Amino acid sequence: MIDPIVTVRYQNLVSERLGRGFSKRELLAAGLTIRDALWIGVPVDSKRKSMHDENIETLIELMNETGVEEEANETMESAPVATEAPARKTAAVPKEDIGVALEDIPGVGPKTAERLREAGYLCAGDICKADMEELSQIKGISKKSAEDIIDKAKGL
């Protein structure tokens, strides 16, 4: 397992420790996509924003060992080229809301997120458009918590 180095600052002390995953900036600086990183088993921490030279060097060494770039180029050459974009039947969601998971809304835990998905709410954008009365009909969500969830989703 590859462990990235992260810097911890507390009051006047600065120290380094092993982190949970590499930041997106480190992956991009090493020439590795997030998809490829996950494919070869490199942990990715989407919350981290920092970038360390040691982590980039580690990623480059790993890429050389595994040959990720070569495999990616081979699969891209053999992949069929689409001549026309497929028609999508999804609801119009503002760009800023795409990809914001339900669990990222403060106060929404795994069970609540699962219940929301079962009710047809897939992302924070869906929650922003929801009616408080509709959300309060879901098991485990009161009118007050439905109002809080909608407000917090709009604040993301």
Tell me the pLDDT tens digit for each residue of 115-134: 888 888 888 888 888 888 88
Q: Cα–Cα distance between 13 and 23 in angstroms, integer? A: 22
pTM of the model: 0.42
Which CATH class name applies to 95-154?
A: mainly alpha
Taking the domains of the chain in order of start, what are their residue ranges? 5-72, 95-154
Q: Cα–Cα distance between 106 and 47 in angstroms, integer? A: 15
Tell me the pLDDT tens digit for each residue of 19-70: 888 888 888 888 888 888 888 888 888 888 888 888 888 888 888 887 765 5
Residue 113 has pLDDT above 60, yes or no: yes
CA angle 41, 59, 16 (to 5 degrees): 100
